[in-house]
Amino acid sequence: MKKLLLIVTLVFSVNSLAQLNSASVKLGFFNPSAANGGFIIGYEGGKIIDERLLFGWSIDWFHSSYVDKELVNDFNEAFGFGEINELRAKTNLHEFPILLNFRAEFPMTPISKFYATGGVGVEFLLINYRSFQNPEDDEFKAAFDFSWRIGVGLLHRIGSRSEVFGQLDFHSSEPSWEYEVEDIVRGKRIFERSFDMSGMMARVGIRFFF
């Protein structure tokens, strides 16, 4: 009898959730190839399609300040070695991936599930970098690229309209643009600045249904 009541309760819970939207806040660590790893925060909105599938959108924010070693090598090869190239390659970036996401859930226990997720979208990079001629001065650039992500996670229901989860993702994108400098000896030189923002991210979060 108790098992029957539990099944009935779960069925009604799933049916009610199928009419709901969801909102999630995620906090964790992101380690892209181009920059130093660090804190990432995200928001995800969703619509429950049925008891196994959720469709939604997400936006994340990641910030990193670092020295672009690849650019240092390019400058060293073109202009000779020097500490000034380290200063020229100082970079401060803000990353904003905006994705459309799907999530498929697979029950493990009545209140715990394994899930797989994936998303595609665009990525915006806002970059402050040092002027080549005046390395003490900052310049600004925005870069864009196609972005995709796949991941897996575990979730645990903590109430009728709330759950906690842990998630591991692989994120891929590589925004770039051409970097132009003036060389007194050789004239105008063009370098490509490429930011490989692909890497792993590990996050935990909480999701609410409404």
Run means of pLDDT, 10 residues per run, the chain, 210 residues: 39 48 97 92 94 94 83 65 67 94 95 97 88 69 94 96 97 85 66 86 96
How far apart, in whole angstroms, are the C-alpha atoms of residue 94 and residue 99? Answer: 16
Nearest Cα residue to 22 out of 190, 144, 157, 176? 157
CA-to-CA dists, residue 3 to 9, 11, 16, 156, 161, angstroms: 10, 12, 20, 20, 22
Contact 44, 26 (CB under 8 A): yes
Contact 165, 205 (CB under 8 A): yes
pLDDT in the model for residue 148: 98
pLDDT in the model for residue 20: 82
Q: First and final CA of the chain: distance in angstroms?
A: 31
pLDDT in the model for residue 194: 80
For residue 76, the domain's CATH number is 2.40.160.20
Count of the separate structural domains present in the chain: 1
pLDDT in the model for residue 10: 38
Range of the domain at 78: 2-209
What is the residue type of 11?
A: V
Sign of CA pseudo-dihedral 33, 127, 194, 119: positive
pLDDT in the model for residue 50: 86
